[in-house]
A = this chain, B = another copy of it.
Amino acid sequence: MTDIDRCIAGRMRMLSRVVTGLYNETFAEEGVTLAQATLLMYMFVVPGVRQSVLSKQLMIEKSAMSRDLQLLQRNGWLTDSIRKGLFLTDEGQALAKRCHKRWKALNGAVREQLGTDAVDGLDLLTERILALR
Contact = CB atoms under 8 A, between A and B. Distances in A.
Interface in A28-58: 34-35, 38, 41-42, 44-45, 58
Contacts of A118: 121, 124-125, 128
Main secondary structure of the interface of A (DSSP, over half): helix
Contact of A4 (B8, B103, B110): B103
B121 A125 contact: yes
B117 A22 contact: no
Given A1-B44, A13-B16, A59-B18, A7 B125 contact: no
Given A45-B1, A118-B124, A120-B121, A132 B103 contact: no
Interface of A: 1-4, 6-20, 22-23, 34-35, 38, 41-42, 44-45, 58-60, 100, 103-104, 107, 110-111, 113-115, 117-122, 124-126, 128-133
Given A14-B58, A15-B125, A23 B4 contact: no
A15 B104 CA distance: 21
Given A1-B45, A45-B1, A129-B15, A8 B110 contact: yes
Contacts of A19: 8-9, 12-13, 129, 132
